[in-house]
Chain A
Amino acid sequence: MRKTVTIESTAVLLDVNNIDTDQIIPARFLKAVSRDSFGEKLFYNWRYRKDGSPDESFALNRSKGSVLVAGANFGCGSSREHAAWALADYGFGAVVASSFADIFRNNALNNGLVPVQVSPGFLERAVSAIRKDPDTKIDVDLSDRSIRVEGVGMETFPIGEYKRECLMKGYDDMDYLLSILSDIEKFEKRNAI
């Protein structure tokens, strides 16, 4: 997994609550058997018109940046990790929202995509700052769990110590689990599994 310590970027603003994984990546694109190229399909139904031409009014077609700023309950719905792959493949390093759906949060963390959960008030101020000035700089720093939004201020965000270290060192859970196989075997013996 890629290493992430800080992300400094402008933001793509998608000020919508309850963005579900069907919107992030529609089901018809889930038939692929590899992890590649899902970025092209990210937010497909919002990003492209029915005739396949890009909808210039949609945020992704207007602004650039590696931080996506969205509303509450981001990533609800299906467990499809394709949603996290699509966001990461497109080039996002962090998603800022006032809350995340549980499975999406795990999927994001397992793909080096930082779920930055901020207070609703902070989010509101950040949204209006970005709306006023699309070049507003955002700075996410895992070393002190902070997010800074130019002209708005700073807030810390919750992330477990273990996961923070994983992101900063580029480790994933698989590396850890494979390192404790003997404990797993002991557990199976003890429980006669």
Chain B
Amino acid sequence: MGKTTFDKIWDAHVVKSVEDGPDILYIDRHLVHEVTSPQAFAGLKARGLKVRRPDRTFAACDHNTPTHNQDNPIADPSSATAVAALAANTKANGIPYFPLGDPANGILHVIGPEQGIVLCGQTVVCGDSHTSTHGALGNIAFGIGTSEVEMVLATQCIMQCKPKQARIDVNGTLRPGVCPKDVILYIISRLGTSGCTGHFVEYCGDVFRGMSMEGRMTVCNMSIEMGARGGLVAPDETTFDYIRGRRFAPKGADFDRDVAYWKTLASDEDVHYDMEFAFDAADIHPMVTYGTNPGMGMPVTGTIPSSAVGCDPGSFNDALAYMGFEPGERLLGHKVDYVFLGSCTDGRIEDFRAFADVVEGHRKAAGVTAWLVPGSKSVERRIEEEGIGRTLRDAGFEIRQPGCSACLAMNDDKVPEGKYCVSTSNRNFVGRQGRGARTILSGPAVAAACAVAGVISCPDEL
């Protein structure tokens, strides 16, 4: 029996195994942010320990950061305290830290790949469930809790039972205008929010092979939304080309040596997956969600199911009541109040390009408040360099400064109660974007069409 990419990377990182218990897994990259780390640093201090491998640890503030006037002190006192704690903890332990305003600051899951911090074949953890994003680079990346953050800080290891493995194939050719976000929203709508619980996913087939690295990140990012620990795409030339030349990536002969190793990481022919799913690319259309979990998705031109699909009737009815929608209703033409472009799912340059392509030649609808939030300082710079900023401003949009922003509304970017927000983020949970806020998830192209039309729209019908 051969090994999957996942097996190969996992096995290479097992320090030892507890009999009948978990493996002790060595961690190559530990990403740290201000929300899930202060208690871990405090625990470490209480035990009289220091960070064992600060050279394998990288930190940035992202969740609590305001998205305007970042050169001013953070106004919210508890957000300011959380960010200040991260600055102090990283300094005391010699951890590289990208503070607010730093040219490399941004959402950790955007800057990890972008700065070459996260590479192929690694084990990557962060106290954040969307750590799964990094699997796009062909590595094992997953979210952990704060106790585990403390363990990694102290020992560079955590204890994990090896998860089961699932394989998801999408073959064929995507229809024009279908983004990577549509692909993953479609998959989750088919598999449900716990369809891959206990499993680690490998994305296979034509569609992922042909996808850009940023598209793969969007897909891997939302693996957690179907319950998976994480998801990966086996490394290939697209991966190596992406990594080459990045700030913290190996250079010259070191890079060539690493590529030679990374090439051995593709899954073997004769491998076993615990679950396998296959979808046809032609079945995927631009998507939106209509409910309060990411599995409640449908084509933007479709109608809400007339009764519960993939969940119990109670949850279905509660979700529609919260959203103010009716069973069997079409969403096209439904009023939109807010549009959010950003997050670690869709806050990269390709997402801004896709958004601007749709906007070009139109203007933002008067009734829509749009928050366009780059995922990082580097994305922010690219937006201006490529002239996207001008296109968007000419169309009446404003571009904010990087951070998690309205993805979870820990800063001031909160959607008011009862308002509809078309959002390129990853979660439409009750209250996620503010108490009573109604979130409709979509990709950047659909979000742009909605921002221009002021109602739910399909990009090719503008």
Contact = CB atoms under 8 A, between A and B. Distances in A.
Nearest to A106: B145
Contacts of B36: 79-81
B56 to A, nearest CB: 8
A176 B24 CA distance: 10
B129 A79 contact: yes
22 contacts: A17-B314, A18-B193, A18-B194, A20-B293, A22-B427, A22-B430, A22-B432, A23-B430, A27-B410, A33-B82, A73-B194, A76-B194, A78-B128, A79-B144, A80-B145, A102-B229, A110-B145, A177-B157, A183-B24, A184-B15, A184-B26, A184-B156
Given A33-B42, A35-B39, A72 B155 contact: no
Interface of A: 16-18, 20, 22-23, 26-28, 30-35, 45, 50, 72-73, 76-82, 84, 99, 101-103, 106-107, 110-111, 160-163, 172-174, 176-178, 180-181, 183-184, 187-188, 191, 193
Given A18-B194, A107-B146, A174-B154, 19 more contacts: A18-B193, A26-B435, A30-B35, A30-B63, A32-B78, A33-B85, A45-B431, A50-B435, A72-B194, A77-B427, A78-B129, A79-B144, A80-B35, A101-B197, A106-B145, A107-B147, A111-B147, A174-B151, A184-B26
B250 interface: no
B429 A183 contact: no
A102 B146 contact: no
Contacts of A181: 155
Interface string B148-171: 101100111111010100000000
Contacts of B20: 160-162
A77 B429 contact: yes
A177 B79 CA distance: 32
Contacts of A81: 36, 39, 127, 145-147
A71 to B, nearest CB: 8
Interface string B33-70: 00110110010000100000000000000011000000
Range for the number of chain B residues in contact with chain A? 35 or more
B39 A33 contact: yes
Contacts of A101: 194, 197, 227
Contact of B151 (A28, A33, A173): A173
A166 B432 CA distance: 34
A162 B18 contact: yes
Interface centre among A72, A78, A161, A180 (most CB of B within 10 A): A78
Nearest to B76: A31
Contacts of A103: 129, 142-145, 229
A70 B312 CA distance: 14
Contacts of A32: 78
B198 interface: yes
Contacts of A16: 314-315
Contact of A110 (B26, B147, B408, B410): B147
A16 B227 CA distance: 17
Contacts of B142: 103
A22 B82 contact: no
A183 B435 CA distance: 48
Contact of A22 (B151, B198, B429): B429
B42 A18 contact: no
A18 B82 CA distance: 29
Interface string B418-455: 00000000010111100100000000000000000000
Interface centre among B142, B408, B409 (most CB of A within 10 A): B408
Given A76-B193, A160-B161, A106 B148 contact: yes
A59 B198 CA distance: 29
Contacts of A22: 408, 427, 429-432
Contacts of B129: 77-79, 103
B35 A102 contact: no
B252 interface: no
Given A35-B39, A79-B128, A23 B429 contact: yes
Contact of B197 (A26, A30, A78, A102): A102
B238 interface: no
B73 interface: no
A17 B315 contact: yes
B15 A73 contact: no
Contacts of A84: 145
A180 B146 contact: no
B81 A79 contact: no
Contact of A187 (B15, B82, B163): B15
B311 interface: yes
A27 B409 contact: yes
A28 B82 CA distance: 12
A178 B155 CA distance: 7
Contact of B435 (A45, A73, A161): A45
B176 interface: no
**3 closest cross-chain pairs (CB), A and B:** A162-B21, A81-B145, A33-B38
Contacts of A188: 26, 156
Nearest to A177: B155
Contacts of B147: 81, 107, 110-111, 172-174
B35 A183 contact: no
Contact of B311 (A17, A77, A162): A17
Nearest to A36: B39
Nearest to B230: A102
B16 interface: yes
B127 A79 contact: yes
Given A31-B82, A79-B129, A73 B148 contact: no
A53 to B, nearest CB: 15
A82 B432 CA distance: 16
Nearest to A100: B197
A36 to B, nearest CB: 10
Contacts of A23: 429-431
Nearest to A186: B15
A193 B120 CA distance: 15
Interface centre among A20, A76, A84, A160 (most CB of B within 10 A): A76
